[in-house]
Structure 1
């Protein structure tokens, strides 16, 4: 089959999916809150039950990540997301202010285009399905070319459960013929009402350029600061756990460690105790070439690979239980591989004199990629944590926890989400963790609560001037106009 034939078939599949989803969504709009909630629970339960099988499929198809870690992601995307949204009102009247006599009424967007990344293909599919169903929206998923089968299976599990629970047929779709052209046309389709884009920068930019309302998210290049007051034992253990979780594929995973000089030796010692391998200068140079063969661009082949696999790729033998690789770094820039977002268990480690220098290093790292996303701080100094939170250009500041899991709501009180907004820091419309609340139009019915007296209009000055001129044609029009303006000004001031 030629590429042209494949693209044409993919475009036709997309158009058919959009048509069917719109027909089904029109019917779904009539469902009650009770019916919607029954469907959402059925889908969450079905996805949770299949979390392990879907995780294995994702690792097998993409070659990225760790099966039992992806299982955890699937469980968060199903159970935790459900727990977060289950009591949310999304049908009919959802709020009423008695004092202001304003009634809020929920209305769905319509049909949503969901772009799914290769790093979290099944968990993102489950997440976007649940929040779409909860808000009475239809959904057409476009999977990453390297993750079509596992994304399709995740959607299929959700679709079957939804329809068995009473959802109209055709409400949920996953495109199966991988085609960038079809994805581009999906985002511009007149019957797509919102784009929910999770993926690479180019795809998110395309979503914003489509002319449609879009929730896109920026990249993460998360800096993690271990401040001198931190519990070093706990901080290092959490950093290694977080970085090695699913081999670093979550965009909120820490990419660089910044540590106060006073505790640097202790941190290095703890890193080694926690199965981190510190690269020698020579090994670091080899790793730099693997991370970024082309300056400024990260090698996609390293994404989601284990520390041992990455070390083997550059001919370095590390202990079998090595969880992360660490390179000592002093520079920051697009052409400095260790300072980039690596999406793999590779850390850069910077040593700083104090918190002032640490803050600047964090800002510099965010400025080369990751503005608006997330930063991590390990400290017992609450005033410092608050100061950094106020001053750093990020939307999430996670304190004394794993950033990878904390930012998505796993270990924090943040809303469970697999689409993390970066605000205008990162060129996004929102800084929120995207969830069902973001997929609703809220209509407002408002009663009049104040009586106002509309003042009588002032008479125009032109008839007054013409009347005076008619009585004495010799008068200069400009002079008369000036006198009238002054009189009217006095009257206006008296009336105030």
Structure 2
């Protein structure tokens, strides 16, 4: 018996998944708000309970990150996301303006294709499941090839809890054969109604090129400015914590430090106190080759690895408690490894004369990758923070907090989310933290509230006469009589 091609099997699995999700979603559309909310709460509780086990699975399978940090991400994706969306109305009439007499009615999109990255495989799966269920959408997840088992397990935890709470069987699906061809066809499938893509630039571009509505999010290359008025001890402690959180795998994690010269020595001293290792010129050169063996491209093998592991791999001896590696940099460009988004605990350090130079360095860094995503500012000067917020091409500006956790809503009032829009700065349709409200069609029923008198059309005899006169050759008398009769008829109608 011939062995079937793996891609063909993967495509068949995808088609079956889409079919089952659509059938279940048609039934789920009939559920009440109370039924939906009960299901969402059951799933959030189940995912929160399994946060630790799923975190360990993710690290074991991908080799990226830190288990107890991934546990925190799973907890944010379940508990914090639930708390943020639990009061949102998503069924039937969800708003009514009594003065304008306009009612807003929520309608689901249908079935969503959720693309899941290897850096946050379980937390993203939980997050996309919750916001899809809350809005009565079906979901088909496509995991990253390096994270299929843990992504499917996260989805299964959610699926079992949802079905126990009454959700239609088949509403939540996960592809298991890690085929790029199947993922591409999933995004173009006629019964997929929205793509929710979290991943690399090529994947996001594919989502936007699919011909389907898509929320795709671009890369981050988050610059962090420590301005001279900042609380230096607190700022540096937060920056090291943020950069080392889950070994830098969150796209909102700071990538470069920009420091005013007058506080540069103090900042470097605090970095050392907080477990940062400052590379010398020779060590920095070794690290550059590891970060980017091919100019302009980051080595995927460094993603989510610890600072000590990265140092060991190129023969640099660092203290055992080293949390981040720091390289002093003066240049910015695709071919300058330290200026790229590294998704690992490696910082570039730029020393600037003032805030004007700092802003330009931040813009230059964003322009090589990360436009529209996020930036971080540590300052006690509120006016400066506002000025930077107005002028920088980013969608999130986090002030005096950890960007990695703050931008996703963990330490700020931003909507908890694992899909962060970059706006048109980064080629995205939205600059929001994507959440449940982005997965709804809002229909509007509007009553008439104004009476309008529609004017009768004006009819000019002169224009008709001129058109008759201009006819050549001369018209016969019968035709002239017909035109005159037509004119008289129009005048009679107008005067009624």
What corresponds to 2:490 in structure 1? none
Aligned 1:164-313 pairs, distance under 5 A: 164-313=164-313
- Output the CA distance in 1 between the equivalents of 2:469 and 2:266: 94
Aligned 1:24-173 pairs, distance under 5 A: 24-173=24-173
| Residues 173-225 of structure 1: per-residue CA shift (max 9 Å, x gap) | 00001100000000000000000000011000000000000000000000000
Give the secondary structure class of the aligned counterpart of 1:99: coil
| Residues 315-357 of structure 1: per-residue CA shift (max 9 Å, x gap) | 0111110000000000000000000000000000000000000
Deviation at 1:455, TM superposition (A): 1.2
Give the secondary structure class of the aligned counterpart of 1:412: coil
- Output the CA distance in 1 between the equivalents of 2:368 and 2:132: 33
- Output the CA distance in 1 between the equivalents of 2:417 and 2:338: 28
Structure 2 gaps, min length 5: 475-496
What corresponds to 1:463 in structure 2? 464
- Output the CA distance in 1 between the equivalents of 2:261 and 2:408: 31
Give the secondary structure class of the aligned counterpart of 2:294: coil
| Residues 230-276 of structure 1: per-residue CA shift (max 9 Å, x gap) | 00000000000000000000000000000000000000000000000
Deviation at 1:467, TM superposition (A): 6.9
Deviation at 1:462, TM superposition (A): 2.6
Deviation at 1:465, TM superposition (A): 2.4
| Residues 335-382 of structure 1: per-residue CA shift (max 9 Å, x gap) | 000000000000000000000000000000000000000000000000
Shift of the 323–101 alpha-carbon distance from structure 1 to 2, 3 Å rule, reads same
- Output the CA distance in 1 between the equivalents of 2:192 and 2:292: 37
What corresponds to 2:359 in structure 1? 359
- Output the CA distance in 2 between the equivalents of 1:430 and 1:56: 33
What corresponds to 1:429 in structure 2? 429
| Residues 429-482 of structure 1: per-residue CA shift (max 9 Å, x gap) | 000000000000000000011111111112145314257889xx9xxxxxxxxx
- Output the CA distance in 2 between the equivalents of 1:414 and 1:256: 23
Shift of the 343–40 alpha-carbon distance from structure 1 to 2, 3 Å rule, reads same
- Output the CA distance in 2 between the equivalents of 1:190 and 1:325: 47
1:349 and 2:349 aligned: yes
Give the secondary structure class of the aligned counterpart of 2:95: strand
- Output the CA distance in 1 between the equivalents of 2:47 and 2:37: 15
Deviation >4 Å, runs of 4+? 1-4, 466-470
Deviation at 1:401, TM superposition (A): 0.1
Give the secondary structure class of the aligned counterpart of 1:149: helix
- Output the CA distance in 2 between the equivalents of 1:464 and 1:307: 90
Q: CA RMSD in A?
A: 1.4
What corresponds to 2:492 in structure 1? none
Structure 1 gaps, min length 5: 474-496
- Output the CA distance in 1 between the equivalents of 2:63 and 2:33: 40
Q: TM-score, normalised by structure 2?
A: 0.94
- Output the CA distance in 2 between the equivalents of 1:448 and 1:261: 64
- Output the CA distance in 1 between the equivalents of 2:31 and 2:61: 37
What corresponds to 2:17 in structure 1? 17
Give the secondary structure class of the aligned counterpart of 2:376: strand
- Output the CA distance in 1 between the equivalents of 2:404 and 2:437: 23
Deviation at 1:419, TM superposition (A): 0.1
Shift of the 136–276 alpha-carbon distance from structure 1 to 2, 3 Å rule, reads same
Shift of the 57–466 alpha-carbon distance from structure 1 to 2, 3 Å rule, reads closer
Shift of the 251–459 alpha-carbon distance from structure 1 to 2, 3 Å rule, reads same
Give the secondary structure class of the aligned counterpart of 1:162: helix
| Residues 106-140 of structure 1: per-residue CA shift (max 9 Å, x gap) | 00000000000000000000000000000000000
Aligned 1:380-459 pairs, distance under 5 A: 380-459=380-459
